[in-house]
Chain A
């Protein structure tokens, strides 16, 4: 079992009345709410927190890509990864961007990933998200009607650019290049493992399985909703007759660890409530550009249950509701360990990405949560899935001792 720390790099200082007063946290979040003095501090705190997670014993650290978004101010995860590649020595660096259909030509992504793989010494995971509709269609103007098709073409081009020994020409529908001749090559051979973060679109499951990539379901809804999606994914794996190796799947879970339940609530509730009430305040008109999802996904009725972003309703969510819904796992190290073990087995995932900095959580508390999770929870889960081999791990990233010694 591998456990990775995921960071969204949220803007931690939105006004109290954000939800009532403003239209959306994403796409048209008012620019005047961004204070660059705060931003300058937050980027550095985020890097410090990820480095600390590596130092405290996580297997990997994850960054991702969002645009015009107050809950994720990393338009370029590659810049963060470049810094982390230098300041960490052994952990996997998991870049859950780049939304490959957004970059023209997509060989730019192939180049930057190859550079990161070289700089990190072969510790890179290259995420190929389709990208959310908000980021891709609304912020970056990509046409939703052809977006998925463009994504498949970009993937083909990048893999070819990484692996072809000879220069080649690429005559695609969306990209035409007379000379594709990538310098540098990735350090990992044939290329860094590809992880496909998804939001629950059914068309992504089959494709990911066929390409033998890792599928990671990233949502903030927690394990109860995640179960529906992962069941759908494993059903596709079974139908295709592929080995149900848990390492081909990942899941994101928000986690808060303290010495008692009461302490967890006292210390973490404000930050968690901030996240669910302010940061997921996304205008529903930006949730799903027409054509972004196939009719099959819409028809499957998944839209309402598993692929809808944000949350409906205007009521303020409280700590208790959030825990009951399974959105956040919180408590003592033993309680969290037990719950996460259940999640891992129930969803059958070999990679669990834990969000330890949540919403407005300040640097000091985030560091505390990282330390508690990394030292008192993570080591007690790593022994799981001993019968399977992880084929989706960077070739030169650390594989920690899994002898099963419980601490």
Chain B
């Protein structure tokens, strides 16, 4: 995997981009948990040129102050796609990235061959609100994000040390790591709030019909953030879509069940 910075709009945005593989492009837009190069991307890079930019406001990607709302973010992404000359790509978006993917595919359907939405935000169903990600305690948030609340990833979100804290790392080093993690999460969540506060419905319903290419809707079976019932709402609004539920996963299916997620996407995009 290679990591580089891509400059957009004369340097207003300096964007971390992770990429690997060759072949047709596959654009991957990460979720509220941030971007990690996981096994799912590694596997997809066997057949595709995987390009995974980090949203402004996450990690080292700058320029979030220039973005006030979802339209600002969509236009930023159009600039990034132009800058990187991405076309005829498979578009995969997870969580917040799923919402952005749906918006981009609605604005420029001709740019993407196929679309995969993994537990996307963007449609509100009062009967299935899910946990308020901005109005919950770290414990509640962790156990809604992950199927296994005792996994290290879930413990980190809950602000707790990993199960097998290494003997070598001192308490001070662990505290420092926890503080760094919390600060990054505070930054990421305040960025996410621009697009999802207070209810993650910014009008996608009015535009989603413009996505006419095949869409795969992937959903963690026990997602407590964007409840699995929302898959049906997306499915009903799309003209060519199907749903796959992922067992043993909540909102973070790409990191909870990376092989299964990669396999389902692979099947959908015709990887042998």
> B187 touching A295 by the CB < 8 A rule?
yes
B60 at the A interface (CB under 8 A): no
* B81 interfacial by beta-carbon distance below 8 Å: no
Number of interface residues of B (CB under 8 A): 19
**Within the complex, which residue of A27, A144, A299 is in contact with B197, where a contact is CB–CB below 8 Å?**
A144
Query: At the interface, yes or no: B259 with Cβ under 8 Å from chain A?
Result: no
Q: How far is the CB of A176 from chain B (nearest CB, A)?
A: 14
**Which of B12-20, B133-141, B214-222, B239-247 makes up part of the contact surface?**
B133-141
State the Cβ distance, B126 to closest chain A Cβ, in Å. Answer: 15
Among B189, B192, B198, find the residue whose CB has the most chain A CB atoms closer than 10 A: B198
Minimum CB–CB distance from B119 to chain A (whole Å) comes to 19
Contact assessment for B68 and A291 in the assembled complex, using a CB-CB cutoff below 8 Å: no
Q: Once the chains bind, are A291 and B193 in contact (CB under 8 Å)?
A: yes
Known: A290-B134, A295-B186, A298-B183. A144 touches B193 (CB 8 A): yes
Which residues of B have CB within 8 Å of A298?
182-183, 186
A146 touches B194 (CB 8 A): yes
Whole-angstrom distance between the alpha carbons of A173 and B68 in the complex?
Answer: 9
How many chain A residues touch B (CB < 8 A): the figure is 19
Cα distance A33–B95 in the bound complex, in angstroms: 38
B190 within 8 A of A: yes
Query: C-beta contact mask, B84-107 vs A, less than 8 Å → 1, else 0?
Result: 000000000000000000000000
B226 at the interface (CB under 8 A from A): no
Pick from A27, A143, A284: contact of B194, CB below 8 A: A143
Contacts of B143 in A (CB 8 A): none
The answer to whether B136 touches A291 (Cβ under 8 A) is no
* Distance between Cα atoms of A138 and B133 in the complex (Å): 12
Most buried by A among B132, B183, B189, B197: B197
A27 to B197, CA, bound (A): 16
**A-side contacts of B182, CB under 8 Å:** 298
| A contact residues around B137 at 8 Å (CB) | 283-285
B198 partner residues in chain A, CB cutoff 8 A: 137-138, 141, 143
Which among A27, A141, A285 has the greatest number of chain B C-beta atoms within 10 A? A285
Contact between B193 and A295, CB atoms less than 8 A apart: no
Bound Cα distance from A198 to B193, whole angstroms:
23
Q: How far is the CB of B256 from chain A (nearest CB, A)?
A: 23
B193 to A145, Cβ gap below 8 A?
yes
Would you give the shortest CB distance from B140 to chain A, in whole angstroms? 7
B186 engages A143 (CB within 8 Å): no
The list of the 3 closest CB pairs from A to B, nearest first, reads A291-B190, A290-B189, A290-B190
6 contacts between A and B (CB under 8 A): A143-B197, A145-B194, A295-B183, A295-B187, A298-B183, A298-B186
Chain B residues with CB under 8 Å of chain A are 68, 132, 134-137, 140, 182-183, 186-187, 189-194, 197-198
Q: A residues bordering B, Cβ < 8 Å?
A: 27, 137-138, 141, 143-146, 173, 283-286, 289-291, 295, 298-299
